[in-house]
Amino acid sequence: MNCQVAQEKITEGFAAGSAVLSQDVRTHQENCAKCRLFYKQETNLFALLDAGLQNLANQPVPTSLLPRLRAALEQTPLHHTFTLPAWSVVAVAATTVLVLSLSILWNRGQRAPLGHERAPVEAVVSKKTTPKSPHRSDARTTDSIRLATKTYTISPRAKMSEPVPEVIVAGAEREAYTRFVATHVGDRVRTPMTNVDSASAGEATLEIASLRIKTIEVQPLEGTEEEEP
């Protein structure tokens, strides 16, 4: 056994609270003056350590402590309050966030089919605002009529369960149709205007039942560029 191992064993023995050395350490110590000195030093060190710790841990308790504690207890009311633990607040907050996010996702999921049904109408409207046809005036005319026709044909037949498509109709148009429906209920609505020949678009005569429309003038909106045919 060398000195390093012997000294480690001596320290560990003292740290474990036992000053009794093992046989091999004792044998080594008998022949090694350095380790004997180390043993003495460790004995002193741990004696001081124990004394110091006991001094620290056993400080006299102030006589004022207990009267002070009793006075503090007298002033402290023991309420029957229900206090929530800290984790419950976090749990409630997390649940709220979860429920909110789920409800948002659920609402989005339900809105998706509506948007799908609205698409054709929106397509018509967008066609009206941004015509791609070379004969824009015709397109506008037919689009507006198509919009109105759609309103007339779909609305009465619409079932409660079916979603009614939204159609943007100007106030004047709506009034005209109300009059039209009132006077020509039962008349068959002819809609050849959707297939109006583009060549005769300038002076097209559109016929809706007995309603005759002559000379439709369609002018481009201000600020819009005319497309080349």
Q: Which is nearer to other proteins, 15 or 104 (CB)?
A: 15
Which of 7, 144 has the CB closer to other proteins?
7
The yes or no reply on residue 89 touching other proteins (CB under 8 A) is no
Paired with 212 in beta bridges are 207
Question: What's the rounded Cα separation, in Å, for the pair 147 and 164?
Answer: 14
Does position 207 interact with other proteins (CB under 8 A)? The reply is: no
- In the list 5, 47, 53, 90, the residue contacting other proteins (rule: CB under 8 A) is 53
> Among 101, 200, 190, 91, which Cα is nearest to 149's?
190
User: Is residue 80 involved in binding other proteins (CB under 8 A)?
Assistant: yes
Site of tokens 């909110």: 100
Size of interface with other proteins, in residues (CB under 8 A): 34
Interacting residue with other proteins among 9, 21, 46, 151 (CB under 8 A): 46
Q: CA-to-CA distance for 193 and 213, rounded, in angstroms?
A: 11
Select the span of 9-17, 26-34, 91-99, 202-210 touching other proteins (CB under 8 A): 9-17
Query: Does 73 engage in binding with other proteins (CB under 8 A)?
Result: yes
User: Counting contacts by CB under 8 A, is residue 69 touching other proteins?
Assistant: yes
Q: Is 57 in the site for other proteins (CB under 8 A)?
A: yes
The beta strands (E) that lie in 77-210 are given as: 206-208
Q: Does 16 bind other proteins (CB under 8 A)?
A: yes
* Of 142, 135, 140, 138, residue with least CA distance to 229: 135
User: Does the footprint of other proteins cover residue 63 (CB under 8 A)?
Assistant: no
Task: Name, in order, each residue with C-beta under 8 angstroms of 204's C-beta and a sequence gap of 6 or more.
Answer: 138, 141, 193, 196, 197, 216
Question: Is the Cβ of residue 36 or residue 116 nearer to other proteins in the bound state?
Answer: 36
Instruction: Name the minimum Å distance from CB 32 to other proteins.
Output: 19
HSE of 130 in the Cβ direction (CA atoms, 13 Å)?
3
Nearest alpha carbon to residue 218 among 135, 109, 110: 135
Can you give the binding site for other proteins, defined by CB under 8 A?
A: 11-12, 14-17, 42, 45-46, 48-50, 52-59, 61-62, 64-66, 68-70, 72-73, 76-78, 80
